[in-house]
Amino acid sequence: MELLVAVMVGVMVAASVHLMLARNVLRFIFGLILISNAANLTIFAAGRLTPERPPLIPEGADAPAAQVANALPQALVLTAIVIGFGLFAFALTLVYRTYQTLGTLNSDEMRLAEPRGEDGS
């Protein structure tokens, strides 16, 4: 299964890179969401996938009875999901505010700080 997840993560990253290469910043945001998910899955899969054995300690025991899923990447991913959401929410607000101010979502037309020189495409 890990092998398939690895392939799938590759597909997700490819799609998000394509989105992030767009001029429209809303597409860029979509790419951001997608790549966060891909990154989380990468961490999760790197800790190996264990079906149907959550890392819990049964009542009365001091340690898990048998081999359970790797708890460490789960903790990392949990944190990463929340941070990724914070990043996404802020970026979306920024896009919204930019649109309010500049009237465009095209990153090429956002030229307040770097006026277009002879070099601009």
CA atoms within 13 A on the CB side of 89: 6
How many residues bind other proteins, per CB under 8 A? 99
Provide the minimum distance between the beta carbon of 116 and other proteins in the complex, in angstroms, as a whole number: 7
Residue 53 within binding range of other proteins, rule CB under 8 A: yes
Residue 65 within binding range of other proteins, rule CB under 8 A: no
Question: Of 33-52, which residues contact other proteins (CB under 8 A)?
Answer: 33-34, 37-38, 40-42, 44-52
Residue 94 within binding range of other proteins, rule CB under 8 A: yes
Sequence-distant (≥ 6) Cβ neighbours of residue 104 within 8 angstroms: 110
Q: Considering Cα of 36, then 41, then 43, then 44, what sign does the dihedral take?
A: positive
Query: How far apart, in whole angstroms, are the C-alpha atoms of residue 69 and residue 92?
Result: 35
Residue 7 within binding range of other proteins, rule CB under 8 A: yes
Residue 10 within binding range of other proteins, rule CB under 8 A: yes
